[in-house]
Amino acid sequence: MNVESIKRRLLVKYPFFGSVVANSNFIAEPAVGTAGTDGKTIYYNPNFIESIADDQKTFIFAHEICHIAFDHIFRSEGKDKDLWNIATDSVINSFLKQDGLPIVEGVVDIPEAINYDAEEMYKKLLEEKKQQQQPNGQGNGKNQKGSQQQSGGNG
């Protein structure tokens, strides 16, 4: 399945993202681990994309389209970039997973994120991080998976 086929699939499944899909550039970039975005362009590793199932391709590109549609890169100003990325990834991924797309192994998967928007999830993760950094703090012991997506901003 080539990128044009994936774009058509995105338009059928998520027509409300039509203008974002139509106005985004999709660039094959072997140096990218999986896929990522700078808020305008989606960069993807063609070898990675070819190695996964069609529904997972849809998941990956829908994920990146969501980052663009929701201005996640531009809304990250003044925030801990790593935590913001985890927060936005977790909210997007939980939505896509709930919508029936198979989650790709290794991406951020925090099921409870479906109950939060990006700012709420970021605040929750920031609080957890502060608690874990306290000298006598127990932390909550959660182990959250980091994002496999790489880009010049958010993945």
pLDDT of 13: 93
Among 52, 47, 44, 61, residue whose Cα is nearest residue 5: 61
Supply angle C-alpha 36, 106, 130, rounded to 5.
Answer: 85
* CATH hierarchy code of domain 3-133: 3.30.2010
Alpha-carbon span 100 to 55, nearest angstrom: 9
Residue type, 115: N
Three-class secondary structure of residue 40 per DSSP: coil
Residues 107/148, Cβ–Cβ less than 8 Å: yes
Instruction: Centre a 10 Å sphere on the Cβ of residue 25 and count the other Cβ atoms it contains.
Output: 10
Q: What is the residue extent of each domain of the chain? A: 3-133
Question: Which pLDDT tens digit goes with each residue over 62-94?
Answer: 999 999 999 999 999 999 999 999 999 999 999
Three-class secondary structure of residue 72 per DSSP: coil
Question: Which pLDDT tens digit goes with each residue over 87-101?
Answer: 999 999 999 999 999
The list of the chain residues with pLDDT below 50 reads: 140-154
